[in-house]
């Protein structure tokens, strides 16, 4: 299995631009999670899906952030418009419903200038 795949690995964009991060979970996993890691806040959950349905988006910082999971093998996290404070590493993870182990992708390092 290739593991969780994320693209791009690095993204540099200017403030105000739209950014789309992509994730392909491990086949057979029915939960998908988006995390953000920063020095100040550590690893924080943004949103997670079960069976392609968003379950908890309370971690999404504001309306500029949106996430979709149109099918079991693909998810996107979109930021529009992007701001410098969005600069962070964004991780996607997938897992089975039980017990709770999650498998992380390599992350996307986003820099907004």
Partner 1 sequence: DQQVKQNSPSLSVQEGRISILNCDYTNSMFDYFLWYKKYPAEGPTFLISISSIKDKNEDGRFTVFLNKSAKHLSLHIVPSQPGDSAVYFCAASREGASGSRLTFGEGTQLTVNP
Q: Which residues bind partner 1 (CB under 8 A)?
A: 4, 31, 33, 42-45, 48, 50, 55-56, 91, 93, 95, 97-107
Residue number with CB closer to partner 1 (33 or 65): 33
Residue number with CB closer to partner 1 (56 or 83): 56
CB-CB contact of 52 with 69 (8 Å): yes
Q: How far is the CB of 64 from partner 1 (least distance, A)?
A: 22
Distance CA 99, CA 26 (A): 16
87 CB-side CA count, 13 A? 10
């Amino acid at each position: 299995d290739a593991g969780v795949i994320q693209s791009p690995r690095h993204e540099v964009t200017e403030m105000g631009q739209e950014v789309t991060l992509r994730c392909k979970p491990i086949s057979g996993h029915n939960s998908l999670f988006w995390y953000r890691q920063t020095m100040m806040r550590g690893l924080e959950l943004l949103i997670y899906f079960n069976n392609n349905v968003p379950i908890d988006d309370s971690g999404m910082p504001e309306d500029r952030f949106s996430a979709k999971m149109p099918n079991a093998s693909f998810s996107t996290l979109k930021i529009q418009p992007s701001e410098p404070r969005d600069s962070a590493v964004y991780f996607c993870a997938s897992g089975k419903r039980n017990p709770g182990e999650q498998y992380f992708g390599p992350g996307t390092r986003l820099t907004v200038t």
